[in-house]
Amino acid sequence: MSRRKFIESVGASCRNWRSSWAFVDKARHIVIFGAWDTGTQGSTSLILDRAWERGASGRKNAAFAEALEYVGLVEQEGYGLQTFPMVYTELAVDEHGRSSGLIGAFRPELSDKVLHHVAGKWYASSESLDAPLPEEVTEPTKYVEGSAKSISVNAYERNAAARAACIQHYGFSCFTCGFNFEVAYGTIGRGLIHVHHLRSLAQIGKEYEVNPISDLRPVCPNCHAIIHRTQPPLEMEQLKEHLTRSREAHNPSIERTA
């Protein structure tokens, strides 16, 4: 079955069958997105990104405006959201690291989802985001990270010395929200903080020498968990912007600083 026949069989359509990954069934008020495997972690998928407005060549993505319109139907008009799995096939990567690709395959299976908007990126997830909390494994060795070891899934060693060097440089306050355990809880919270790796070790897939200053940042467990709720993980600046907007929305008296 082709992608078009599958989408039409469930009552949906689009304006650009060649490149669209977003579809709408206006009769049933449902929006359907294809969810790339490269942007999916557990039941959470990145379905739209402002960066996708232009392709690797710099040209406007013909299907982007349509996808943005359909996201608006979910956000503003209460349409339901469903996704189906798609496999990404990379065609080319330009000098800026931007890639272009096609659908390598898809599964004709629809799942009901909930939409989350985080600073210019839209995610579809189940009601309960099921990404596990990021656990840290410390090893007293050199600043080398990323060596895989087999448990039930591939895990990656996190280096204790690199963690310590990162914290010595940046301190114990969360780089994203500013939370400090000792300030909040007193001496019992002294020295408590997670360390986030800016480069995904799972994507690197090999050992490399980590730079504690440029590769790591201290984050509180709450922000660390939110960062890793998506695939790829949220960027720290993205989460900072989202926090700022969320605080403004709940407290209009807060003045946004440049």
pLDDT at 201: 61
Looking up tokens 């599958």, which residue turns up?
Answer: 6
pLDDT at 42: 79
pLDDT at 77: 94
Q: What is the pLDDT of residues 218-242, one digit of tens each?
A: 999 999 989 988 878 889 999 999 9
Q: What is the pLDDT of residues 19-54, one digit of tens each?
A: 889 999 999 999 999 998 888 877 889 999 998 888
Looking up tokens 């096939």, which residue turns up?
Answer: 89
Tell me if the pTM is above 0.75.
no
Q: For residues 37 and 87, what is the distance between their CA atoms, to the nearest angstrom? A: 5
For residue 147, is pLDDT > 80?
A: no
Where along the chain do its domains lie? 3-125, 138-250
CA distances for 185 relative to 180, 191, 219, angstroms: 9, 11, 16
DSSP state of 180: -
pLDDT at 148: 47
DSSP3 helix / strand / coil % (the chain, rounded to 5):
30, 30, 40
By CB atoms closer than 10 A (0-12, 13-18, 19+), residue 24 is buried
What is the Cα 234 distance to its own chain's centre?
4
E-assigned strand segments in the chain: 22-25, 30-36, 40-41, 44-49, 80-93, 99-106, 111-118, 121-125, 138-139, 144-145, 148-150, 154-156, 158-159, 194-197, 208-209, 216-219
pLDDT at 101: 54
Closest CA to 80 of 124, 129, 40: 124
pLDDT at 129: 44
pLDDT at 150: 39
User: What is the mean predicted confidence (pLDDT) over 166-173?
Assistant: 94
Q: For residues 133 and 230, what is the distance between their CA atoms, to the nearest angstrom? A: 12
User: What is the mean predicted confidence (pLDDT) over 129-149?
Assistant: 44
Q: What is the pLDDT of residues 64-123, one digit of tens each?
A: 999 999 999 999 999 999 999 988 765 545 455 555 556 668 899 999 999 988 888 999
